[in-house]
Structure 1
Amino acid sequence: MTKAIRERPRTLTFHAVGSRADEPWSREEVLGAALAEGMRFAPGNGWSYSNIGYMFVRELIEEIAANSLGQVISDMISEPLGLAGVEFWDTLEQSASLHWETAKGYDPGWVYHGCLIGTTSDAARLLHGLFQGELLQSETLRDMLDRHPVGGSISGRPWSECGYGCGLMSGSMGNVGRAIGHSGGGPFSVNAVYHFPDLAEPMTVACFTDGTDEGVAENAAVKIAQRE
């Protein structure tokens, strides 16, 4: 296994092999490839977004709950919020049923921390439920919103200020004020799901589209929030 990791070209990135429908790397391979690069900074002296960090969180949840992450999400999130269309995505058969044609051969095993599939309404309902206090106690939600600022405006995207909380992107988007949620992208689509708490009537918007530019989905979410 170690030999295989060493022979992988460093230019052959995780996203490149994932998007061309290769078989997912094993847990040991992905950790070996990441750890071979060394630490970006000493513990406590920096901040960086980490999908591998979320993989560790998944493993911890499954260990404590003695159940799969998919079942935990179903029991603690999907059922309480009435998200009947949400599924934990872990098979190629599910990939074949997705809206995006280019997703049909994608192996969800590349998403080591786990992934959900559902509708835009499901996505908006889930995030709105979080801010309505339907999922977490108030103190836990405050901790989740504790933000680490990472910068100002981003070209082609609506952010005037941006940062990260615990699993949430958080900042400001022009005249709609604060925006808290997440943007995401894969080999076949991008999305933006945001709660806008500063509007006269706070709302949550979810936008999905094809391509690779998260700014397209984010700008669409802002336009919807402005119109409403």
Structure 2
Amino acid sequence: MTRKITEALDAGTATADSAAAPNTVAGQDRPGLQKTIEEIVGSGFIGLTLRVHDEHGDWVGSAGVSQLGETAQPPTNGHVRIGSNTKTFTATVVLQLVAEGKIDLDAPVVGYLPEFELDERITVRMLLQHTSGVFNFTGEVFEDGTTAPGIVWSGKEWVDNRFRSYAPEELVELALSKPARFEPGTDWSYSNTNYVLARLLIEKVTGRSAAEETQRLIIGPLGLSGTVVPGTSTDIPEPHAHAYYRYDDADEPKTADVTHSNPSWISAGGDMISTPEDLHTFISALVSGKLLPADLLAEMCTPEAKVGYGLGVFILNTDTGTLITHNGGHGGHGGLMYSTPDGSKTMTAALNYIDDADLSGAAAFQQATQRLIAEVFGGEQHAPADPAQPEN
């Protein structure tokens, strides 16, 4: 456990030892899974809810606490800000519009969004696969360790301004004012700008908001009653665990409850709210062909060579087979989403933790996902780690 997270947990008097008795809803008894999530909480999280679906049925367990200073565990199907899992929803909507004939996957984006004067070589596919080269409006970290800042999304300044609203066009214009990272189609780099452009593309070709299209094409048909595209709303539905952010104020460390915040700063790159059950329903429906035609699902799950990213999903190779996944988190909430290619086994999770500007929880986040993959699916990961964790 990192020093900052340890101090913050101590300050809030919440540790795995202070949690209530195990909270599980099980189709079968799995004490090993419960023990695992309790140990993961002890490694640097406030709370964790895990849902596993496989040939034995559904198992749900939670550990830790929902709120610092309290003893209640996280709700077993609570709402959580899912961060970059949003990208999988956004990519699915774009591909559904491809199926409807409204978008051409290999057409230049500038033909749909001429107002941004994008490089005409950038295609819709490149947006979804992060191969456009467009600057990431949340900032870039280059191979040599140098950085280029974007909007403010960390530290005291973010905490103080976390209710501010951003228009998606504002985020894109900021990104396009910066040099491109590489020539379109020549490399891979994770950029939230790609998915804000995808949102604007959805809205341009349909004449409706991306939230409305997500409702029409995914949320409604699948009955995802706990899934929300919040726009500029700062609310999160009950029940939910609390999210926290640690920052320095005049050299004095402080921890703020940031459960309520305006996610428009990340837009379609990571703004959605969901539940572990809804994430299971979504990813299993997606990979089993209930949302996309077979040819487009195959396109989605075909990885590029550098890190194994398809169109809105990571293709993860393990000792025991391939997994389709996307994870994400920011500001003390995180979501995990994994499935076998046929949707027969899924693992989804919601985490609440103390975030900070140094992303000091990143190592614990990565270690937690690796352990859960091994516990649920068996084997070890043989692909690069998701660079979207734990931030968007």
The residue matched to 2:289 in structure 1 has which SS?
coil
d(CA) in 2 for partners of 1:107, 1:218: 30
The one-letter code sitting in structure 1 at the alignment partner of 2:223 is G
Among 231, 234, 250, the residue aligned to 1:92: 234
d(CA) in 1 for partners of 2:237, 2:220: 23
Gaps of 5+ in 1: 1-9, 151-161
- Structure 1 range deviating more: 131-140 or 180-189: 180-189
Deviation of 1:35 (Å): 3.2
Q: Give the superposed CA RMSD.
A: 2.8
Alignment TM-score, normalising by the size of structure 2: 0.47
Identify if the C-alpha distance between structure 1 residues 28 and 72 changes in structure 2 by more than 3 Å, giving closer, same or farther.
closer
Query: 1:123-165: CA deviations, max 9, x gaps?
Result: 0110110011110000111111121132xxxxxxxxxxx5100
Matched, 1:115 2:271: yes
Q: Is residue 163–residue 171 contact of structure 1 (8 Å, CA) maintained in 2? A: yes
d(CA) in 1 for partners of 2:276, 2:208: 27
Identify if the C-alpha distance between structure 1 residues 127 and 12 changes in structure 2 by more than 3 Å, giving closer, same or farther.
closer
Among 338, 341, 352, the residue aligned to 1:210: 352
Q: Is residue 243–residue 333 contact of structure 2 (8 Å, CA) maintained in 1? A: no
Q: Is residue 313–residue 325 contact of structure 2 (8 Å, CA) maintained in 1? A: yes
d(CA) in 2 for partners of 1:58, 1:20: 26
1:163 aligns with: 308
Query: How many residues are aligned here?
Result: 204
Q: Is residue 196–residue 267 contact of structure 2 (8 Å, CA) maintained in 1? A: yes
Q: Give the greater-gyration-radius structure (CA).
A: 2
What is the correspondence of 1:49-88 to structure 2 with a 5 Å cutoff? 49-88=190-229
Among 262, 270, 282, the residue aligned to 1:126: 282
Q: Is residue 189–residue 210 contact of structure 1 (8 Å, CA) maintained in 2? A: yes
The residue matched to 2:236 in structure 1 has which SS?
helix
d(CA) in 2 for partners of 1:141, 1:197: 10
Q: Is residue 191–residue 218 contact of structure 1 (8 Å, CA) maintained in 2? A: no
The residue matched to 2:201 in structure 1 has which SS?
helix
d(CA) in 1 for partners of 2:299, 2:339: 17
Equivalent pairs: percent with the same residue?
25
Deviation of 1:31 (Å): 3.4
Structure with more contact order per residue of length (Cα contacts < 8 Å, sep ≥ 6) = 2
1:15 aligns with: 153
Structure with the higher helix share, 1 or 2? 1
Alignment TM-score, normalising by the size of structure 1: 0.77
What is the correspondence of 1:189-228 to structure 2 with a 5 Å cutoff? 189-197=333-341, 202-211=344-353, 212-213=361-362, 214-215=365-366, 216-226=368-378
Deviation of 1:122 (Å): 0.5
d(CA) in 2 for partners of 1:19, 1:97: 25
Q: Is residue 192–residue 221 contact of structure 1 (8 Å, CA) maintained in 2? A: no
Gaps of 5+ in 2: 1-147, 245-257, 354-360, 380-392
Q: Is residue 336–residue 350 contact of structure 2 (8 Å, CA) maintained in 1? A: yes
